[in-house]
A and B are shown apart, each in its own frame.
Chain A
Amino acid sequence: MMRLIFLTLLSLTFHWVNSQKYTDLRAGVSCLNATAWNETIRSYNESRFWQENKFPELKTAFTCGLGYSGVAGKGLFLSPSVQYSKFTSQTPTDKIDLHWVELELACDIFPLEFGMDSVHYRVRPFLRLGYAGSMLLTRIRLADGNAGIDGEPYEPYNWPYIFHAALGLRYQPTSVLGFFLLLDARFAPNARINDFRTALLGSNYLNSSDQNNVRILGIQSGITIRIKN
């Protein structure tokens, strides 16, 4: 939580001191690699082998985000953003949802303009390096209702942090409107979903963990709008 507050404050401060500003809106797909969580899902499918409907592994998500970008130096931008991804694994009767909200502060480096006073190019590659505080909400709905542990509803919130690196390409046909494509890699070390095994499998019989290093690869595209001073 402290991380989120800190990032918000930082982004506000930065908002006041910069002159060159953009907002962006983006959407795309993300691909999740979360070994322990998927091991739990595989075990669920395997151990309930009589069930015809199998949970697919948690893999792809729809991702969307809203960002802000302001110049911090020559060819250097600071970009706070908020992003939402939803990873789902679903059978006709059951569903696992991971809602992942990130609040990120990223630094965008435009290598072609690095050290330059003005921007000449309409198509500009950039490198984004970011760090995000995030909130991960997990919901499991099974055939006979929502999963629960010991009679309590299962509604865990977790706060993983995420390192982010992305390659981007921005196309700026007009001075106001731009488009961009972003190929990102995210890494959430030791991300945990509390009692995921217990909630899904029931008894905690699987000797694995609710915690894993999560890797997410994603591709997003969106529009940027320049906010003139």
Chain B
Amino acid sequence: MNRRILLKNMLKGLPMYCVAPWLLEACAKAERDETLGIEGPVCIIGAGAAGIYAAAYLMKLGVDVTILEASSLAGGRIRSQNGFADFPAELGAEEIHGRRSLLYDLALSSAQADIVPEVGESKYWLNNVLRDSYFFQQSSALQGAGQTLLQISESLASYEGPDISLQEYLINFPIEPGMIEIANAIIANEYGTQLDRIGMYALREAEQRYSSGIDGYFLKNRSMWSLFETAFPDAIAQIKLNEPVGEVIVRESDVLIKTIYDAEYFAQKVLITVPVSLLQQGFITFNPSLPQVKLDAINAIKMDVGSKFILRFSAPFWDDDTGSILGGLRIPEYWVSSAGKNSATPKLTAFVMGDRAAYFQGMAEPQIKAELLDELGLMYPAQNPSELCTGILVQRWADEPFIRGAYSYPSPQSTGMREVLAEPIGNRLFFAGEACNVNGHIATVHGAMESAYLACKAMKT
């Protein structure tokens, strides 16, 4: 082949040489700019996990943000108390659920050395005897009821029967009453209520969305709140405390936000992150009023009474391998909150929801302490916990005027309602918070942050 033919044939391949630079350029093209288009100012109502995360996110985009918080403290259901033990005692959120979440990543970026996995074994209070997990799973007396319970809890995400309560569902299985108490502790109490208040369809929905991992983590010697303080100081600086919002008026060109003390704020968009209980009880008036579907969603998603009581002891009376004690009739779950920490103060946290938590409402602290130690005395008769107890810390979330409950649970008729709750109204009103999380965990810190991310994303359109 002579040179001319070679050249001629090469010219036939010219399109390829023209395309090649374009191809390489396409590969190097800058990423899409996602930061534009949110018209501020944005007013965020509530300075809990959702509100603070949203504020930090929006401020990073250069949006003008104001956060109005009703109480005198920021953090909402993330709250700790120093001084009671030699580490911050968590009164609300304490556990990081799984390793794949915004919260875990937040902890990883500022407190990696402080992340410790959940430690210890569960002990089960069954028919007035404290059992370890081996007995629970293998005992012929229980006929493998532990395995049955495990299977039940693993199959909740694929439940296909009628929409009955979890209590009605459990009756179908050959498990004895003691085991029902364990089920109450590991499922219903964890979800923030009791067996007969959980709807099976809503539970299935919640279980299907449970995707950040099944393992649990704690922070060794720092509080959950400190993660937010470290990561989002600018957002926290924007919080206006003691500003309970009582009215939100959507006008043609903006939104007027009025506190119950008649202070007024103006914004282009408002992000509402208050607990769903406050919306249910009509603490905030909306003008024009919220659409009926939104009101239906607000009313369908329930929050129960819930409390944490933290007991301090001079010495541990439980076995070294104890992580938690499940199945108590007064307190469904105790856990060793000093486990895994560099602490000389043994502590048990009592975690109680629903009617059992309501029983302690209005009760004086010494009596609560006596009731708890009474139960622990039954569980550990030889050790006499009463004599070792040096103090109690009481946190009743239903008594908090701007929280009014623990957290949202999978109540009957709430299936699909979280999507409705999270739906923005007219590019002015946006909703976030643990009850609004639509694809991930409900009732968690990271769930609240995720819902805030989605709400902020919706503001961009």
Whether the Cβ atoms of B211 and A204 lie closer than 8 Å is yes
Q: Does A29 contact B (CB under 8 A)?
A: yes
Whether the Cβ atoms of B34 and A46 lie closer than 8 Å is yes
Interface centre among A167, A198, A201 (most CB of B within 10 A): A201
Number of interface residues of A (CB under 8 A): 44
Whether the Cβ atoms of B105 and A202 lie closer than 8 Å is yes
Find chain B residues with CB under 8 A from A169 CB.
9-10, 12-13, 16
Chain B stretch 1-54: residues in CB contact (< 8 A) with chain A: 1, 5-6, 9-10, 12-13, 15-16, 19-20, 23-24, 26-28, 31-32, 34
Q: Does A3 contact B (CB under 8 A)?
A: no
Whether the Cβ atoms of A207 and B9 lie closer than 8 Å is no
Find chain B residues with CB under 8 A from A167 CB.
13, 15-16
Known A-B contacts A123-B1, A169-B16; the reply to A217 vs B98 at CB < 8 A is no
Q: How many Å from the CB of B109 to the closest CB on chain A?
A: 6
Whether the Cβ atoms of A125 and B9 lie closer than 8 Å is yes
Whether the Cβ atoms of B100 and A50 lie closer than 8 Å is no
Q: How many Å from the CB of B103 to the closest CB on chain A?
A: 9
Known A-B contacts A121-B1, A203-B447; the reply to A48 vs B439 at CB < 8 A is no
Q: How many Å from the CB of A193 to the closest CB on chain B?
A: 15
Q: Does A6 contact B (CB under 8 A)?
A: no
Find chain A residues with CB under 8 A from B344 CB.
none
Q: How many Å from the CB of B214 to the closest CB on chain A?
A: 5
Chain A stretch 16-38: residues in CB contact (< 8 A) with chain B: 29, 31
Pick from A51, A181, A202, A217: contact of B101, CB below 8 A.
Answer: A202
Whether the Cβ atoms of B108 and A143 lie closer than 8 Å is yes
Whether the Cβ atoms of A48 and B102 lie closer than 8 Å is yes
CA distance A125 to B453 in the complex (A): 52
Find chain B residues with CB under 8 A from A181 CB.
13, 16
Q: How many Å from the CB of B24 to the closest CB on chain A?
A: 7
Find chain A residues with CB under 8 A from B57 CB.
46-47, 49
Q: Does B336 contact A (CB under 8 A)?
A: no
Find chain B residues with CB under 8 A from A60 CB.
27
Whether the Cβ atoms of A207 and B454 lie closer than 8 Å is yes
Known A-B contacts A46-B34, A147-B100, A206-B439; the reply to A29 vs B16 at CB < 8 A is no
Q: How many Å from the CB of A144 to the closest CB on chain B?
A: 6
Question: B194-225 toward A: CB 8 Å interface, digit per residue (1/0)?
Answer: 00000000000000010111110000000000
CA distance A204 to B213 in the complex (A): 11
Majority secondary structure of chain B interface residues (helix, strand, loop or mixed): helix
Q: How many Å from the CB of A146 to the closest CB on chain B?
A: 10
Pick from A49, A50, A204: contact of B440, CB below 8 A.
Answer: A204
Whether the Cβ atoms of A183 and B454 lie closer than 8 Å is no
Q: Does A149 contact B (CB under 8 A)?
A: yes
Whether the Cβ atoms of B212 and A29 lie closer than 8 Å is no
Known A-B contacts A120-B1, A199-B100, A203-B100; the reply to A49 vs B211 at CB < 8 A is no
Find chain B residues with CB under 8 A from A218 CB.
23
Whether the Cβ atoms of B56 and A49 lie closer than 8 Å is yes
Chain B stretch 429-461: residues in CB contact (< 8 A) with chain A: 437-441, 446-447, 450-451, 453-454, 457
Chain B minimum-CB-distance residue to A49: B60
Question: B42-83 toward A: CB 8 Å interface, digit per residue (1/0)?
Answer: 000000000000001100100000000000000000000000
| Chain B interface size, under 10 / 10 to 19 / 20 to 34 / 35 or more | 35 or more
Chain B stretch 229-284: residues in CB contact (< 8 A) with chain A: 231-232
Q: Does B106 contact A (CB under 8 A)?
A: yes
Q: Does B158 contact A (CB under 8 A)?
A: no
Chain A minimum-CB-distance residue to B231: A50
Whether the Cβ atoms of B5 and A203 lie closer than 8 Å is no
Find chain A residues with CB under 8 A from B383 CB.
none
Known A-B contacts A42-B31, A203-B441; the reply to A51 vs B5 at CB < 8 A is no
CA distance A202 to B440 in the complex (A): 9
Chain A minimum-CB-distance residue to B29: A59
CA distance A199 to B211 in the complex (A): 9
Whether the Cβ atoms of A202 and B9 lie closer than 8 Å is no
CA distance A7 to B407 in the complex (A): 56
Pick from B13, B23, B27, B101: contact of A203, CB below 8 A.
Answer: B101
CA distance A109 to B374 in the complex (A): 87
Interface centre among B99, B211, B439, B447 (most CB of A within 10 A): B211
Whether the Cβ atoms of A202 and B6 lie closer than 8 Å is no
Chain B minimum-CB-distance residue to A198: B211
Q: How many Å from the CB of B138 to the closest CB on chain A?
A: 22
Find chain A residues with CB under 8 A from B213 CB.
148-151, 202
Question: B79-106 toward A: CB 8 Å interface, digit per residue (1/0)?
Answer: 0000000000000000000111110111
Q: Does A67 contact B (CB under 8 A)?
A: no
Find chain B residues with CB under 8 A from A222 CB.
none
Find chain A residues with CB under 8 A from B56 CB.
49-50
Find chain A residues with CB under 8 A from B13 CB.
123, 125, 167, 169, 181
Give 14 A-B pairs besides A56-B31, A122-B6, A204-B209 with Cβ atoms closer than 8 angstroms.
Answer: A29-B24, A47-B453, A49-B57, A51-B105, A121-B1, A122-B9, A123-B13, A150-B213, A167-B13, A167-B16, A169-B13, A169-B16, A203-B446, A205-B438
Closest 8 CB pairs of A and B: A203-B440, A202-B100, A123-B9, A169-B13, A205-B450, A122-B1, A31-B27, A202-B101
